[in-house]
């Protein structure tokens, strides 16, 4: 019982952080950085310096892994009878959405931000010219790709959270 409570607490805490960060990023941070233009990359650099780039994937991974453990426990080892119940399918769907959000966050969002920061940093140190403008343009396109991925991740984790909240009542 103690292990269950520890894992459940860890899952809920990390999920709350992940949902909050995803929604804040999609609704406020990314649009604010976009409004700043090339200076918006300074926000990303400052967040990276403070460990934010590592923090988010860690809490997302902990959320998904603890969620798998909780689902395994809830379904008595993934038993088909429990997995196919309304609650089991709702928890399972929420888990799939969370896993999908983790994959999109890592494969698209994080990679795009890292590449955009690298390109913008390189471009900032270059003399005025076409090559510099091209790098800034590629960085802007990557930031837009990251923003789109961030919106998808936010929608996925919010939906997963809603499913997890209602599942036990089905």
* Cβ atoms of 68 and 7 closer than 8 Å: no
Average pLDDT over residues 14-19: 98
pLDDT at 30 over 90: yes
* pLDDT for the residue 61: 98
pLDDT at 42 over 90: no
pLDDT, mean over the chain: 93
Q: pLDDT of 84-131, one tens digit each?
A: 899 999 999 999 999 999 999 999 999 998 898 899 888 888 899 999
The pTM for the full model equals 0.91
* pLDDT for the residue 31: 95
């Amino acid at each position: 019982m103690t292990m269950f409570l520890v894992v459940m607490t860890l899952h809920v805490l990390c999920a709350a952080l992940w949902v909050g960060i995803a929604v804040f990023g999609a609704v406020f941070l990314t649009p604010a950085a976009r409004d700043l233009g090339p200076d918006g990359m300074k926000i990303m650099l400052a967040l990276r310096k403070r460990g934010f780039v590592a923090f988010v994937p860690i809490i997302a991974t902990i959320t998904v892994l603890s969620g798998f453990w909780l689902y395994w426990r809830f379904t008595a080892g993934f038993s088909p009878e429990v997995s196919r119940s309304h609650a089991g399918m709702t928890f399972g769907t929420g888990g799939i959405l969370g896993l999908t959000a983790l994959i999109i966050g890592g494969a698209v969002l994080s990679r795009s931000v890292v590449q955009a920061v690298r390109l913008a940093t390189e471009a900032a140190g270059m003399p005025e010219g076409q090559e510099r403008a091209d790098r800034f343009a590629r960085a802007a396109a990557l930031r837009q790709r990251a923003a789109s991925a961030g919106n998808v991740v936010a929608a996925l984790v919010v939906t997963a959270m809603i499913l997890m909240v209602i599942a036990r009542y089905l």
